[in-house]
């Protein structure tokens, strides 16, 4: 994973559990989104600002490895980083751990295209890649 990552914490909501007693699998992708949101904000370029400038980052691929349980109200630590994936896509790696023990919960990545609001692919703007992928790191 690239070396410039951002970490923040969230708690598992009751609505995110399922009858197995742990978090429902698709929540990992929602937490990945929270990781990206806070990563972009920490870079000084909130995702709201990216969309305001007419750029969307829809997912083209997602991958999750489920490594451990997390229950309602558990405090989790989300670490996210970004790198270019080829010349036209950005990849966000995310790792989720228990905040207190460091025990792994899930890790994975999402790969995003650059499009306009109508979904047409566009060339990655320099103001965007310069902000969220420091040093032009590639995965």
Residues within the interface to a second copy (CB under 8 A): 11, 13-15, 17-22, 24-30, 33-34, 37, 46-48, 56, 58-66, 69, 71-73, 110, 119
Other residues' Cβ atoms within 10 Å of the Cβ of residue 27: 19
Nearer to a second copy, 23 or 133 (CB): 23
CB of 135 to a second copy, least distance (A): 26
Nearest Cα to Cα of residue 120 among 28, 36, 54: 54
- Strand 104-113 relative to strand 75-85: parallel, antiparallel, unpaired? unpaired
CB of 26 to a second copy, least distance (A): 4
Nearer to a second copy, 37 or 42 (CB): 37
Q: What is the DSSP string of 42-66?
A: HTT--HHHHHHTT-B--EEEEEEEE
Q: How many residues does the chain have?
A: 139
Nearer to a second copy, 3 or 120 (CB): 120
CB of 15 to a second copy, least distance (A): 5
What distance in Å separates the CA atoms of residue 22 and residue 120, rounded to the nearest whole number? 38
Nearer to a second copy, 59 or 103 (CB): 59
């Amino acid at each position: 994973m690239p070396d410039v990552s951002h970490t923040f914490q969230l708690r598992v909501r009751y609505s995110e559990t399922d009858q197995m007693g742990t978090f429902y699998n698709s929540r990992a992708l929602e937490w990945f989104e929270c990781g990206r949101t806070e990563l972009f904000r920490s870079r000084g370029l909130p995702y709201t600002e990216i969309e305001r400038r007419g750029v969307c980052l829809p997912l083209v691929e997602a991958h999750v490895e489920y490594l451990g349980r997390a229950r309602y109200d558990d405090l989790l630590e989300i670490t996210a980083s970004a790198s270019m994936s080829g010349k036209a896509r950005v990849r966000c790696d995310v790792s989720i751990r228990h905040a207190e023990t460091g025990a792994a919960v899930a890790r994975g990545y999402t790969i995003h295209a650059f499009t306009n609001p109508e979904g047409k692919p566009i060339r990655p703007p320099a103001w965007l890649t310069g902000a969220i992928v420091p040093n032009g790191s590639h995965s």
